[in-house]
Chain A
Amino acid sequence: MDLLRFAAVGSVDDGKSTLIGRLLHDTKQLFDDQLEAVEAASRRRGVDGIDLSFVTDGLRAEREQGITIDVAYRYAATPTRKFVIADCPGHVQYTRNMATGASTADLALVVVDAPKGLREQTRRHVCIAALLGVRHLVVAANKMDRVGWDETAYRAVVEEMAHLASRLGLATCVVIPVSALHGDNVAVRGGSAPWYGGPTVLEALEAAPSGAWAGAHGDHRGSLARLPVQWVLRRPGGGRSYAGMVNGGSFRLGDRVVVLPGGQTSTVSGLRTVDTPMEEAPVGLSVSLDLADDLDVSRGDLVAGVAGAPEVVTELTATVCWFAARPLAVGDQYRVKHTTRVTPGRVTSVDRRLDVNDLRLDDARSLGENDIGTVTIEVASPLAVDPYRRNRITGSFVLIDPVTNATVAAGMVGLPELAAPDPGT
């Protein structure tokens, strides 16, 4: 059975939590006591019936305000597939939490208030999800009951989403007319949309391409062997093993490898998944690796196959999502955490800011809270990086405030790729 990680994204009040609650409820993923607790909480707040958003909105402040503040993770399984669900907040103030939830997702479930159409925050979320490497969208055109299942409301969402998906280079985009409130077309068919012959949300989630993140931590098809060293294990009787997770490709006994950023080469002479010897270490597993030569290797180094080894850089050209209230500007210093290495970094230029409404990169000198933009960062010690679109682990980093230790930005190596708008739009 395979695993799909997906994130529910979209603007505040468009119904993400209600949809996730509905999906879990209608697929019998809720325990009796959890359902009773949600019913009791609904009664206490004078809700007529049951407010399924309380399934994931578990914090006191969330229930008081009827909004989602931080990501809730839920685990579900149907006969064909396991799901890890990240129910993300829609509020612009909590964009950083949405990015947290989407960073490990294979697919985004985009919830749109169909009568109102796409909003700036919907577009921002879809842009962030796409930049974070999500390639597949399932779009719930929600609240169709409010407009009497009027096909024109649905068509408007289809058109806008198709345009957005093609500009962002997404692989698939399925748009489904639903009512999360009544459960129509969520797990079971319903509503009055004789004009719609496509899948329900559940069917679309079960049919979506399987999880590249969960299975491989990055789209591993064609990815190259990468192992960031986490920890050096000393073997009894001498010798060292280098422990870490295989974050790309695979390693086999006898493979020629290079240790970066130093550049020493050697041969893989031993592989273990923790304790069991193995011939080949596949992507996604935590293993320890022995080298035939006695090299100086420590935490933060990257072991890679000699063919197609990553580039070693002292300057990162990157796309960042900025999370702090204080703007990001040239000259600012942060700690850069990339794989298992932490090094000081200085912003040497802020180049562009993404206009999420027009999908246009404008010139910029600084980035404000929740902006997406492109920057260059000079780092104090060299980093072995891949372009993010080739590897989600060796191509990503975060910026950490050296004083407060707050994580202030998510960074992706490389520049965003936006397709030219279709002529006539």
Chain B
Amino acid sequence: MTTTLDTPSTPGHPAGGGRSPLSGFPGNRPIGLRPVDHLDLLEAHAVFILREVAAECERPVLLFSGGKDSAVLLRLAEKAFRPGRLPFPVMHVDTGHNFPEVLDFRDRRIEEMGEELLVASVQDAIDAGRVADPGPNGMRNRLQTTALLDAIRAHEFDACIGGARRDEDKARAKERVLSFRDSFGQWDPKQQRPELWQLYSGTVRPGESLRAFPLSDWTELDIWQYIAREQLALPSIYFAHRRPVIERGGMLLAASSWVSAGPGETARDETVRFRTVGDATCTGAILSEATTVAQIIRETAASRVSERGATRADDRLSETSMEDRKREGYF
């Protein structure tokens, strides 16, 4: 394997440095000067899936949260369709409880790419009375389903391209690359379409839709190795920094206007980074001194706790939290 692991990365450096779409991407020593490695094959497969979805579906949309997986996904979409424009809009399902660093990164990246960003807002769904506000310290992750399904209906999307990986969760491990959802957005794990070779079938009837997962076969380590190779910019909260945190249910939640110390809790300063980025009320930080991608890769390779196990309160609610959310129409 010839992946460069020690590419330096500056946390929060200007995303992509304003390259024009034609000036090429960094980090790609041409094939021919080095052997084809596993990242090349993962990239090739993901680009293939993106092109199939764009060709087979009428109105796809790419979901972009500003997190590391969707940053990789967006880069792969550029690779699939440049020098043309992306053949689909980019959409963020915003819980209203997002880290400002992440929203900042999201907006910068989209502007630099010159693409269109749609925002499906959980706050709007709450304000419109479509869902109840879980209140202060309440988790909003599950509420994303309503905002997502509303946006699918409003824009008549027939495919949502997301950055989910099969190594994240035992229900995701069972899901197809193109995951069929009925007109209520539901996943039925007993009725998945056979998906042989690389023949992805993207046809649905009106009202039905697909979730498309080009990163299905990537692991957390693959993502970080690819970020290193491509020198991808990320929100600064992925790198070690000092911040006030509150320990709750074995997790370190960032103290914020949505998460405040309850009875018996106190906020304390720690050096932390985030392994995953989601709604601030249910995404935990981990203690870490890693300030570069290379250091994160070393920590990831040695970690004894899974990415979501370390950091996601929403997965701890029951044995089958992710499956249950997907049955309701989640990503």
Chain A residues with CB under 8 Å of chain B are 1, 3, 31-34, 37, 40-41, 44, 56, 58-61, 63, 69-75, 82, 84, 96-97, 99-100, 103-104, 214-215, 217, 230-231, 233-236, 243-245, 273-282, 284-286, 299, 323, 335, 337, 340, 392-393, 396-398, 400, 405-407, 410
Contacts and interface: CB of A to CB of B under 8 A. Distances in A.
A129 B326 CA distance: 31
Contacts of B55: 230-231, 299, 340
A215 B37 CA distance: 9
A58 B44 contact: no
Looking at B38, B169, B195, the one whose CB has the most chain A CB atoms below 10 A away is: B195
A214 B217 CA distance: 11
Contacts of B47: 274, 286
Top-5 shortest CB links A-B: A58-B170, A33-B309, A103-B196, A31-B306, A274-B79
Given A59-B174, A233-B81, A407-B195, 20 more contacts: A31-B306, A73-B173, A74-B166, A84-B217, A103-B197, A214-B41, A215-B41, A234-B84, A243-B51, A244-B48, A245-B44, A273-B28, A274-B25, A274-B79, A274-B82, A284-B40, A284-B41, A286-B44, A405-B205, A410-B194
Given A1-B1, A245-B44, A400-B201, A99 B51 contact: no
B317 interface: no
Interface string B23-36: 01100101110001
Nearest to A38: B170
**Interface of chain B: mostly helix, strand, loop or mixed:** loop
B198 interface: yes
B305 to A, nearest CB: 5
A169 to B, nearest CB: 20
B204 A276 contact: no
A403 to B, nearest CB: 9
Contacts of A217: 198
A58 B25 contact: no
A274 B173 contact: no
**Interface of chain A: mostly helix, strand, loop or mixed:** mixed
Interface in B26-77: 28, 30-32, 36, 38, 40-41, 43-45, 47-48, 51-52, 54-55
A199 to B, nearest CB: 25
Interface residues of B, number: 61
A67 to B, nearest CB: 11
A40 B28 CA distance: 45
A60 B325 CA distance: 13
A285 B44 contact: yes
B323 interface: yes
A42 to B, nearest CB: 11
Interface in B8-36: 22, 24-25, 28, 30-32, 36
Given A245-B44, A273-B31, A405-B205, A41 B319 contact: yes
Contact of A58 (B1, B32, B173, B190): B173
Contacts of A393: 197-198
Interface string B159-191: 000000011011101101000000000000110
A72 B173 contact: yes
Contacts of A282: 31, 36
8 contacts: A3-B41, A32-B305, A37-B309, A56-B173, A59-B170, A75-B167, A217-B198, A230-B48
A1 B225 CA distance: 15
A73 B216 contact: yes
B303 interface: yes
